[in-house]
Chains A and B, each alone.
Chain A
Amino acid sequence: MKQDIILCGVGGQGILSIATIIGWAALDQNLQLKQAEVHGMSQRGGDVQSNLRVSDTTINSDLIPKGACDLIISLEPMEALRYVPYLAPNGWIITNTQPFVNIPNYPEMDAVNADLDRVGNVIRLDVDALAKEVNSPRSANMVLLGAAASVLQMLTPELLEDGISHVFARKGQAIVDTNIAAFRAGLAAARK
């Protein structure tokens, strides 16, 4: 079994934390994993993405071929659309609905939403609002990971929670708790 994931958003939104937790969980399960990250210039408010491949057999390429991606997890709606050519015919998009507008020519939201409709299989969440609801306003990325947990095949929600505990452990139990609360809010919302 193999699952190819593109994580995307805008530099600084926290996609690498999501990748780190999935990576921890995959390692814990003795799975193979490759995760190509973007560092450097793009992290300054540009578009960023990470190719994440999880498998129980050998993974060759660090990059996901076009038309092969099972899941796009996006912290920003227009950024989700940027990677549509990579999506497999029955692939899923899980995206935040709130735009990150740091460019003057950001498209109309109606056009963005219509294009997401065209793609099909989309789970949309206002992750910022959900994070605030559970008093974890800075953990919107964990809400999105929670939502993604509903379609991640080889990694259970319990395992991903262990990953959160592990990755945030050095920041203290309070930070771990807010992140897990955000994760659970995302998972519950996606299952609705």
Chain B
Amino acid sequence: MKKNLLLGDEALALGALHAGLSGVYAYPGTPSTEITEFIQMNALARERGVHSDWSANEKTAMEAALGASYSGKRALVCMKHVGMNVCADAFVNSAMTGANGGLVVTACDDPSMHSSQNEQDSRFYAEFAMMPCFEPASQQETYTIIQAAYDFSEKHRIPVLMRLTTRMAHSRAVVEVGEAREQNEIHFPENPRQWVLLPANARVRNEQLIKDYATFEQEAETMGFNQYVDGKDHSVGIIACGIAYNYLMEQYPDGCPFPVLKIQQYPLPTAMIQRLARDCERIIVMEEGQPLVEKRLVGLLPTPVKVSGRLDGTLPRTGELSPDCVRAAMGLPELPVKAASQVTVPRPPALCQGCGHRDFYTALNNVIHTYPTARVFSDIGCYTLGWLAPFHAFHTCVEMGSSFTMALGAAISGVHPSVAVIGDSTFTHSGMTGLLDAVNAKAQVTLCISDNLTTGMTGGQDSAGTGRLESICMGIGVEPEHVRVIVPLPKNYEEMERVIREEIEYKGVSVIIARRECIQTLKRHAAAKKVV
């Protein structure tokens, strides 16, 4: 056994490689990015030719992985939680096709919204799709469970969801690792009808999936990842899901006096939960994210045991769990604490000094401020920081790609100027189809691509359309004379403002590409050259 110091993300990546992975398919997103990056840098992955190039978005990633699974290979899909919304069609229907080669989908949830716009809990997706789900409690278990997940996927011919949360994804611990097994050869499914989801086939498969789901629950009772540990004091029983288990055990270094049901695998093991309910007067549910388990236990009708958790205020309704809130939930006294400093002030993140987004927003603001009716629709990326002081540069930011299409809807509704700002990577992720809608609608919109030649916010990954944005826009149907390229630098403000103003006045679809390399990747490229 070799010891490594690994992030939860890295333990998952290495476990997948050791399970005989042939390809990882992903779009960068905090806190999932490091899974794919680890595989990209891994020597074994290179030697074996494991596919690890970034996908254009989570849906293309999910579909490509499904194609790999169809071909008999083991595939991994990785994304942040909101990526599940992007790939939902493919994800849900992959439970209908089932898997051939082992297929694991990893969703990294972000409770407390460290780098995200919501707190959605991916476990709901697994339940919704009738798919098994694993939620490891430690980095070591992440390494072990991902391998078990591939076995599960191939045994039951079903894709499997792995759910990590930020503190697992981005926390390092000592992990003992084993040897890598062989990759799969190409082989096609034994049940070819199942992969053609015509209604007649899908109805048959749906019945089978419902039966299989009962088997998945049996597995959750017996595989050993869900554990019932009895305690002396039966006044309370605790259900601790994923990393909540660690926060609980932190309070009891010599062992928890209460019965504990540790959950790392779904569907929920009904028999184990019924035992806990029989044994204890009250159950406290500790789960990261939304109260999925608690709500199920509480239901709508009176329960024989009292159920506590996030819904009754025993734990906070929102935000990630901590050892402190779990301590309070267990009724333990607070540790003596020094008073918080009254001197500190918040230090919000900001666009880097010298960043091209800054210069683009400065020029855009100078023009926009002369149009009192203007509305600016922005998008997801570093440039979202342009909402903060000193720029206050736009009015909306919702989800990947929404800038172009919200600007379109506003323009159709009579708003002028209607301006969108999107990054290059977000544009190829989900802006291109919106651009096609705008072209077909002949709307008067000014769509700006702030092109820093990378996926900046997640640390500078390759951007899918680099070097081809003009031809993509023209191919979609934007008039070539209204695809304008500017270089966002202070010395160019006058020209940038002239171009922006001209295109706002144009009665049709314009695309303005403000192109200058991200200064973070520029520094990195310069440093790499020095070493060479």
Binary per-residue interface labels of chain A (31-43) against chain B in the complex, 1 for a CB within 8 Å, 0 otherwise: 0111111111111
Closest A residue to B249 using CB positions: A60
> Cβ of A111: which chain B residues have Cβ within 8 Å of it?
343
Chain B, range 1-37, C-beta contacts under 8 Å to A:
3-5, 7, 30-31, 33-34
A134 is an interface residue with CB less than 8 A from chain B: no
- Asked if A82 lies at the interface with its beta carbon under 8 angstroms from chain B, I say yes
In the complex, what's the smallest C-beta–C-beta distance from B366 to chain A, in angstroms? 21
Closest partner residue, chain B, to A47 (CB atom): B347
Whether a CB of chain B sits under 8 angstroms from the CB of A11 is yes
B51 CB, nearest partner CB in chain A, Å: 24
Q: Is B344 within 8 A of A85, CB to CB?
A: no
Number of chain A residues close to chain B: CB under 8 A = 55
Q: Is the CB of B341 within 8 A of A81?
A: yes
> Which A residues from 96 to 118 make CB contacts under 8 A with B?
102-107, 111-112, 115
Closest A residue to B323 by beta carbon equals A65
State the CA gap A33–B7 with chains docked (Å): 11
Which of the residues A10, A24, A35, A171 comes within 8 Å of B347, measured between beta carbons? A10
Query: In this complex, what residue of B is CB-closest to A41?
Result: B115
A62–B459 alpha-carbon span in the complex (Å): 23
Hey, which chain B residues are within 8 Å of A36, CB to CB? 167, 170-172
Report Cα–Cα, A107/B344, bound state, in Å. Answer: 7
- Flag if A23 contacts B172 (CB, 8 Å): yes
A33 to B3: give the CA distance in the assembly, Å: 12
Q: Name the residue of chain B whose CB is nearest to the CB of A108.
A: B343
Task: State in angstroms the CA–CA spacing of A123 and B393 once bound together.
Answer: 42
Q: Is A132 an interface residue (CB 8 A)?
A: no
Q: Is B345's CB under 8 angstroms from A103's CB? A: yes
B458 within 8 A of A: yes
If A27-B3, A35-B172 touch, whether A67 touches B336 (CB-CB below 8 Å) is: yes
Separation of A165 and B206 alpha carbons in the complex (Å): 58
**Which residues of the partner chain B approach A38 to less than 8 Å between Cβ atoms?**
114, 170
Docked-complex contact A62 and B174, CB < 8 angstroms: no
In the complex formed, the residue of B with least CB distance to A37 is: B170
Also in contact, A66 and B30, with CB within 8 A (given A45-B349, A46-B350, A115-B343): no
Asked if B172 and A33 sit within 8 Å, CB to CB, the answer is yes
Report the minimum CB–CB distance from A2 to chain B (whole Å). Answer: 10
Bound: A81/B347 CA distance, A:
13
CB neighbours of A19 from chain B (8 A): 172
Q: Quick check: B334 and A34 within 8 Å, CB to CB?
A: no
How many contacting A-B pairs (Cβ < 8 A)?
156
Against B, the Cβ 8 Å flags (1 = close, 0 = not) of A57-70 are 00111111111100
Chain A residues positioned under 8 Å from B163 (CB to CB)? none
Q: Are A81 and B343 in contact (CB under 8 A)?
A: yes
B457 contacts the other chain (Cβ, under 8 Å)? Answer: yes
B351 nearest CB neighbor, chain A only: A44
CA distance A11 to B353 in the complex (A): 13
Q: Check B114 against A84 for contact (C-beta < 8 Å).
A: no
* Interface pair A33/B5, CB less than 8 Å apart: yes
> Pick the contact of A44 from B167, B341, B349 — CB < 8 Å?
B349
Whether B5 and A107, one on each chain, are in contact in the complex, defined by CB atoms closer than 8 angstroms, is: no
Closest Cβ of chain B to A108, distance in Å, is 8
Q: Name B169's closest neighbour in chain A (CB-CB).
A: A39
Residues on A with beta carbons closer than 8 Å to the beta carbon of B347:
10, 45-47, 78-79, 102-103
A67 touching B349 by the CB < 8 A rule?
A: no
B337 interface residue per 8 A CB criterion: yes
Task: Indicate which residue in B243, B250, B339, B458 contacts A65 across the interface (CB closer than 8 Å).
Answer: B250
CB distance from B255 to the nearest CB of A (A): 12
Q: For chain B residues 167-199, which have a beta carbon within 8 Å of chain A?
A: 167-168, 170-174
Contact code string B100-133 (vs A, CB < 8 Å = 1, else 0): 0000000000000011000000000000000000
- 10 residue pairs, one from A and one from B, having the closest CB atoms: A40-B115, A67-B335, A40-B30, A46-B349, A81-B341, A61-B250, A44-B349, A62-B171, A36-B171, A65-B323
Instruction: Knowing that A62-B167, A102-B347 touch, tell me 15 more A-B residue pairs with CB under 8 angstroms.
Output: A35-B173, A37-B170, A37-B171, A44-B385, A47-B347, A63-B167, A65-B324, A66-B324, A67-B335, A81-B343, A82-B341, A84-B339, A102-B350, A103-B347, A115-B342
Using CB atoms and an 8 Å cutoff, list the residues of chain A in contact with chain B: 10-11, 19, 23-24, 26-27, 30, 32-47, 51, 59-68, 78-79, 81-82, 84-85, 87, 89, 102-107, 111-112, 115, 119, 171-172
**Could you list which residues of chain B lie within 8 angstroms of chain A, going by C-beta atoms?**
3-5, 7, 30-31, 33-34, 114-115, 167-168, 170-174, 243, 246-247, 249-250, 253, 322-324, 327, 334-352, 382, 385, 389, 457-459, 531
